[in-house]
Amino acid sequence: MFVNDCLNINEQGHLTIGGCDTVALAQEFGTPLYVIDENTVRKNCRSYVNSMKNYYGGNGLPLYASKALSCKALVQLAESENMGLDVVSGGEIYTAMKAGFPPEKIQFHGNNKTQSELEMALDYNIGKIVVDNLYELELLNRLAKEKGKTVKISMRIKPGIDAHTHDFIMTGQIDSKFGFALETGEAMEAVKKTFSFENVELTELHCHIGSQIFDIDPFVSAGKVMMDFIGDIKKQTGYVIQELNLGGGFGIMYTTADNPTAYDNYMKAVSEVVIAKAKEYNIPIPYIYIEPGRSLVGEAGITLYTVGGRKEIPNIRTYVSIDGGMTDNIRYALYDSAYTVVNASKADKTPNEKVTVAGKCCESGDLIQKDTPVYDVQVGDTLAVLSTGAYNYSMASNYNRNPRPAMVMVKDGKARLIIKRETYDDIIANDLDL
């Protein structure tokens, strides 16, 4: 019935997550409330780690892309599951450091890392900086030199694969703000340039082809293109790149229309092509990184709201108002994203109406889902939106000065707070008087 197996229904007909009654969670912690199931995140981490063991001899490391959900508890959980970490800002680096994450297992991304972020990464000895462009390469080399360090770098390559079209295509000219283009020769030129810089050491190439992808083929093609480039680098310069980062992007289930592929299938197919290409170019099989974000935490999370109003507009639609909205989940407003909505107070009942779930912001576009099937939603009911673990809290805002919700982690019937609810004092903390 649900898109996720950490969810269930108890004797009261209430939705449960990780063995906890969601209506009781809403009462105890207040709403809106993010809830994340620890066992599901751990299970997902293990499926990546084990898949690498089974299909690639363990010759690699999955990095948790913390942009999906960065907070101390999640970073610590990733560490306890032997994952590395992908960070994309000073804030994510700081979170990781305060969570006690080992810096050598972190890779730092971004198309415009600021000087102070780069210095921060150097000071914390972050394992690898994924260089995006020539300005950054030069700046990083200079900063590393000033600090008397040599820093390991990766290089972000646009492999020329558009995974978002239905039948993915190899594009001639890639329109993307991220990374170096292959087909213009920009990437090769940048690789050669690194050899003249003394304070950077190029050990890895990186690519990331998109997000919420279900097909395996574009990932396999990306693996091929990257290995061909590694082969080309060897041919032109004699230098052998030893590590390959194939990014994230694995799709999850938001509604029953989504049909994600088992991760094992991806790893098997990609391993085969990488190993075959390594033989073809007579180079060692590279150490592999992947960077799942959404697929680690997305389905493990739900958001709970309390219904505060209902407006039936005859022959048009019924609006149901919740105590959160685009401030805690902007994905419908931004991308028209599909979600499954459940009346958590009456989860044992089959949906009998369609409602439009509206947030509380002064903004008509502040919707969570339009005309979505639910069972008899009334004021006071607890509404659950499923698969909100990724890119919800991490994209939350204080629009209309709404405080960001709390997050609880549930496990085997127990719940504990992992992010406190913001207070009004938090909201004005940086305001200064006239």
Q: Which residues are catalytic?
A: 362
* CB of 156 vs ligand LLP, minimal distance in Å: 7
Quick note: the x/- pattern for ligand LLP over 55-74, rule CB under 6 A, is ----------x-xx------
Nearer to ligand LLP, 88 or 320 (CB): 88
Our finding on whether 208 is near ligand LLP (CB under 6 A) is: yes
Site string for ligand LLP, 216-255 (x = CB under 6 A): -------------------------------xxxx-----
The residue among 293 and 405 lying less far from ligand LLP, judged by its C-beta, is 293
Which residues within the stretch 261-320 sit at the binding site for ligand LLP (CB under 6 A)?
A: 291-295
**Which segment (30-38, 43-51, 206-214, 370-378) binds ligand LLP by CB under 6 A?**
206-214
Please, which residue, 250 or 263, has the CB nearer to ligand LLP? 250
The footprint of ligand LLP on this chain (CB under 6 A) covers a number of residues equal to: 19
Among 319, 288, 335, 429, residue whose Cα is nearest residue 383: 319
Please state, in angstroms and as integers, the Cα–Cα distance from residue 5 to each residue in 18, 100, 381, 386, following that order.
9, 31, 23, 11
Closer residue to ligand LLP, CB minimum distance, 7 or 65: 65
Minimum distance of ligand LLP from residue 275's CB (angstroms): 23
Q: Which of residues 64-123 bind ligand LLP (CB under 6 A)?
A: 65, 67-68, 86, 109
According to CB under 6 A, which one of 300, 391, 405, 418 is a site residue for ligand LLP?
391
Provide the minimum distance between the beta carbon of 176 and ligand LLP in the complex, in angstroms, as a whole number. 11
| Cα separation, 319 vs 309, whole angstroms | 8
State which residue, 249 or 403, has the beta carbon closest to ligand LLP. 249
Nearer to ligand LLP, 29 or 393 (CB): 393
Q: How far is the CB of 394 from ligand LLP (least distance, A)?
A: 8
Q: In the set 113, 331, 346, 411, which binds ligand LLP (CB under 6 A)?
A: 331
Angle made by CA atoms 45, 248, 212, in degrees to the nearest 5: 100
278-315: buried (b, 16+ CB within 10 Å) or exposed (e) per residue?
beeeebebbebbbbbbbbbbbbbbbbbbbbeeeeeeee
Using CB under 6 A, list all residues that contact ligand LLP. Answer: 65, 67-68, 86, 109, 208, 211-212, 247-250, 291-295, 331, 391
